Amino acid sequence: MVGRWIVIGCLLLSAAPAKAWDNFGHMEAAVSTLELPKEFKALVVLAGGAVVLAAILTVCRADAGIGYVIPAFFISGFLADAFTGLAHFCFDYVFPESIPIFGPIAREFREHHEYPTLDPSNYIENLTKGAYASLPTTALTVWAAYELPVGAVSFVVVATLLGMSLWALLFHQIHSYAHMGSILPPEELHARVVEIRRLESHSEKVREFAKLFEAVPIPPVVRFLQRYRLILNPSTHNLHHVLFESDFSSVNGWSDPVLNFVLRPIARRRKAAMEMETRAKS
Ligand SMILES: [Zn+2]
Ligand SMILES: [Zn+2]
């Protein structure tokens, strides 16, 4: 019963338009533009608490063996990564900036190409973005933990949903560690990107980005996770910032080889069409 109310609460909060949230006195700027608030501490706390609750419920169902969390970890990592990649592609090339809620997010994604200033010290802003993505998935996890029959397969399903909720909560914080905006200013990154763009091979590009980020003081634990590709590696992610046609994912890059195959040709066509539109308007 409690779980159902949590599911309903999470869904309402994550689905409510910014205009409605203004009634709570938090987001004056959101009213006129139907833009989600950039920072929403209470939502971050709620999303974090919901993930903890979902984790407790998931562990309570581990009758089939806690070892099943291992496949769930990898499946959830791949699916969450693919989801961020597809969403990023849509915000770069599909959603018009004029539509409510998604439009301002699309504008932010396109501005991120010009000014890649993301910084991990902006915890609340980074985790607020994560909370929007995480809450619906956490609600689904809680529902699945209550409703699915007990068994190995359903445990993997629940644990996978839980993993996706956690990856979703952290995705923008992870993305910001691949930029370190306050230490690596956009002008410096752009200058290196221009040089790296001229390199012939993919491996040379990756190597040069790796060299650039070796000199940046990334916390050792994060550096370890990046190096072993457990979270997004700056060298991989910044390949996206060369031409904005590939490497769209923001969690760990596991889905990039598949998504690049599908999305790169579409991104090229969309980019050319959008450039023609801009030229025609000016
Ligand atoms: Zn992009
Ligand atoms: Zn980026």
DSSP string, 188-201: HHHHHHHHHHT-SS
| Nearest to 162, CA basis, from 196, 139, 133, 130 | 139
pLDDT over 70 at 178, yes or no? yes
Ligand 1 center from residue 278 Cα (angstroms): 18
- pLDDT category of residue 281 using cuts at 50, 70 and 90: confident
Model pLDDT, residue 269: 96
Give residue 175 CA to ligand 2 midpoint distance, Å. Answer: 6
Q: How far is the CA of 81 from the centre of ligand 1 (A)?
A: 14
Q: Which domain holds residue 180?
A: 2-281
Q: What does the pLDDT read at residue 12?
A: 44
Q: Are 169 and 133 in contact (CB under 8 A)?
A: yes
Q: Which ligand is nearest to the CA of 109?
A: 1
How many structural domains does the chain have? 1
From the CA of 91, the nearest ligand is 1
Q: 116 alpha carbon to ligand 2 midpoint, in Å?
A: 6
**What's the mean pLDDT when you consider all of the chain?**
89
Please, which pLDDT band fits residue 62 given cuts at 50, 70 and 90? confident
Taking residues 22-26, what's their average pLDDT? 39
Task: Give the integer Cα–Cα distance in Å for 102 and 90.
Answer: 10
Average pLDDT over residues 43-64: 94
> φ and ψ at 36, to 5 degrees?
-65, 145
pLDDT digits over 116-126, tens only?
999 999 999 99
Cα of 68 to ligand 1 centre, how many Å? 34
Residue 200: predicted pLDDT: 87
Q: What is the reported pTM?
A: 0.86
Checking if the pLDDT of 187 tops 50, the result is yes
Rounded to the nearest angstrom, the distance between the alpha carbon of 237 and the centre of ligand 2 is 6
> Which residues line ion ligand 1, judged by CB < 5 Å?
92
Return the minimum-mean-pLDDT range out of 29-33, 81-85, 183-187.
Answer: 29-33
| pLDDT digit string, tens, across residues 189-248 | 999 999 999 998 999 999 999 999 998 999 999 999 999 999 999 999 999 999 999 999
Give the ligand whose atoms come closest to the C-alpha of residue 239: 2
Q: Cα(95)–Cα(246) distance, rounded to whole angstroms?
A: 18
Residue 29 has pLDDT above 70, yes or no: no
What is d(CA 155, CA 135) in angstroms, rounded to the nearest whole number? 20
Distance CA 194, CA 190 (A): 6
Measured in Å, how far apart are the chain's first and last C-alpha atoms?
58
Average pLDDT rounded to a whole number, residues 171-185: 95
193 alpha carbon, closest ligand: 2
At residue 25, does pLDDT exceed 70? no
Confidence band, pLDDT 50/70/90 cuts, at residue 2: very low
Q: How many percent of the chain have pLDDT more than 70?
A: 88
User: Looking at residue 40, what DSSP letter applies?
Assistant: -
Ligand (nearest to CA of 186): 2
Q: How far is the CA of 209 from the centre of ligand 1 (A)?
A: 17
Give residue-wise pLDDT tens across range 83-104.
999 999 999 999 999 999 999 9
Using pLDDT thresholds of 50, 70 and 90, give the confidence band for residue 58. Answer: very high
Using a 10 angstrom Cβ sphere, with 0-12 exposed, 13-18 middle and 19 or more buried, the burial of residue 56 is exposed
Q: How far is the CA of 244 from the centre of ligand 1 (A)?
A: 5
Question: Ligand 1 centre and the CA of 99: distance in Å?
Answer: 18
